[in-house]
Amino acid sequence: MDTLTERQETILALIIHDYVETGEAIGSKTLAERYGLGVSTATVRNDMAALTQAGLVRQLHTSGGRTPTEDGYRYFVRRLLTETELPSDEKRLISHQFYQARADVDEWVRLAASVLAQHSRAASLVTPPHSPRAGFKHLELISTQGRQVLMVIVLLGGDVRQQMLTLAETFDQAQLSHTAERITASCVGKDAEGVAAQGAAFDELGRELIRLIADVMSRADAVSGGEIYHDGLANVLAQRDFAQSESARHALRLLEERSFLEEILAKALSPGIGSVQVLIGGEGGWEELRDCSMVLARYGAAGYATGAVGVLGPTRMAYGRTISAVRYVAGLMSDLMVEAFAG
């Protein structure tokens, strides 16, 4: 592919801008008039022909305007997108909200999802912070009612997993605490296999618990520990054309199915904390995400817990706004985490 001239890049940017705004294909005449380029429609046409040649824009009908291709969006995002920042008053507003909820990590995560959905006007997803391959630190067993017991497992990185259990018989709190202490003492610092190996030393209840702990720990190596929070589904439905298509349903189903998200996040987030990843049109072989794009970033305190924030929306998305929102929220979450975990 030849390199584009500056004007061709401008035209590509304008086509994308206009298409994102209006959802309609745009032709040479309208483009030249609407954006007051200093050149004639014929010139624009020539440049458009070059862009079409390069595979960056496409004509749906022989004589309809041009719309961006996925490659067009990619070129735009990688090379043309001016590095916008959120307006500083919005930034202040957001960070204020976060500091308001000072005490609660889960609240931060929910807030991040809500803020991202609002600013990107698309669906957002956020995973709680989590540190992979962390050793066992602490077990707590809390009697709630009857045979119902809450098991809380704390890992060295600061991860917390909990599960409600129904035991075979009733135990009182003292018995449970004692068992929990013994297990904590014998397992501290060990990984999933190490914990499993301790089973032999305990009675039936202990063995069962240790089996569960090892289970939870081995599952805990995924990108996201527990829930994946999301928000703003209504936003993506508001997109007229998107709501109709099959893709919308696919995307929604995706958000309901954790395992899929895990996989995507894992693949997309290798680059590490800070950098924003943009996946356009189900890039990387996610058939289900045709017509969708994701903007993702990792946040967290390196070494301790990290998590992911992201936005899922139609390919026809305002990337500038979304990327700056994701970048800002990820940065803010990182700061909060460092502050909270460093203690």
Partner DNA sequence: CGTTAGCACTCTCCATGTGAGAGTGCTAAT
Partner DNA sequence: ATTAGCACTCTCACATGGAGAGTGCTAACG
Using CA atoms, how far apart are residues 286 and 188, in angstroms rounded to an integer? 40
Please, which residues bridge with residue 153 across strands?
139, 161
Q: Cα 156 from chain centroid?
A: 24
| 253, 156 Cβ separation under 8 angstroms | no
- CB-CB contact of 75 with 89 (8 Å): no
Cα 277 from Cα 268, distance rounded (Å): 7
Separation CA 79–CA 106 (nearest Å): 36
Distance CA 266, CA 38 (A): 47
Question: Distance between CA 196 and CA 339 in Å, rounded?
Answer: 34
- Minimum distance from CB of 18 to DNA (Å)? 9
* Residue 118, CA distances (Å) to 165, 288, 312 in order: 37, 24, 12
Minimum Å gap between C-beta 313 and DNA is 23
Handedness of CA 186, 192, 194, 200 (dihedral sign): positive
Residue 10 binds DNA, judged by CB under 7 A = no
Residue 45 interface partner, choices DNA, its own copies, none, CB cut-off 5-8 Å depending on type: DNA
Residue pair 12/26 in contact by the 8 Å Cβ criterion? no
174 binds, among DNA, its own copies, none (CB under 5 to 8 A by kind): none
Picked from its own copies, DNA, none, the partner binding residue 190 (CB below 5 to 8 A depending on kind) is none
Window 187 to 246, contacts with its own copies (CB under 8 A): 212, 231-234, 237-238, 243-244
By a kind-dependent CB cut-off of 5 to 8 A, residue 124 interacts, out of its own copies, DNA, none, with none
Nearest to its own copies of 169, 204 (CB atom): 169
Binds its own copies by CB under 8 A, chosen from 140, 221, 283, 288: 140
How far are the Cα atoms of 77, 87, 141, 232, 308 from residue 280, in angstroms, in the given order?
A: 9, 25, 45, 19, 18
Pick the stretch among 8-16, 160-168, 280-288, 325-333 that binds its own copies (CB under 8 A): 160-168
CA distance 218 to 225: 11
Residues 289 and 251: beta-carbon distance below 8 Å: yes
Asked if 273 interacts with its own copies (CB under 8 A), we say no
C-beta of 5: minimal distance to DNA in Å? Answer: 7
Residue with tokens 């995560």: 109
Selected binder of its own copies within 150, 218, 260, 331 (CB under 8 A):
150
CB of 46 to DNA, least distance (A): 5
Residue 169 DSSP label: S
Shortest Cβ 241–DNA spacing (Å): 12
Fill in the per-residue mask, 17 to 56: x = in contact with DNA (CB under 7 A), - = not in contact.
---------xxxxx-------xxxxxx-xx-xx--x----
Q: Closer CB to DNA, residue 4 or residue 176?
A: 4
Q: Binding its own copies by CB under 8 A: which of 138, 182, 267, 290?
A: 138
- Nearest approach in angstroms of CB 261 to its own copies is 14
What one-character-per-residue DSSP string does 17-57 give?
A: HHHHHH-S-B-HHHHHHHHT-SS-HHHHHHHHHHHHHTTSE
Q: Is 142 in the site for its own copies (CB under 8 A)?
A: yes
Query: Of 4 and 180, which CB lies nearer to its own copies in the complex structure?
Result: 180
- The length of the chain is 343
Binding residues with its own copies: total (CB under 8 A): 52
Name the residue nearer to its own copies (CB basis): 39 or 237.
237
Q: Going by DSSP bridges, is the β-strand pair 276-280/229-231 parallel, antiparallel, or unpaired?
A: unpaired
Q: For binding to its own copies (CB under 8 A), which residues are involved?
A: 102-106, 137-138, 140, 142-148, 150, 152, 154, 156-160, 162-167, 169-170, 173, 212, 231-234, 237-238, 243-244, 248-249, 252-253, 256, 304-305, 340-343
Q: For binding to DNA (CB under 7 A), which residues are involved?
A: 7, 26-30, 38-43, 45-46, 48-49, 52, 59, 61-66
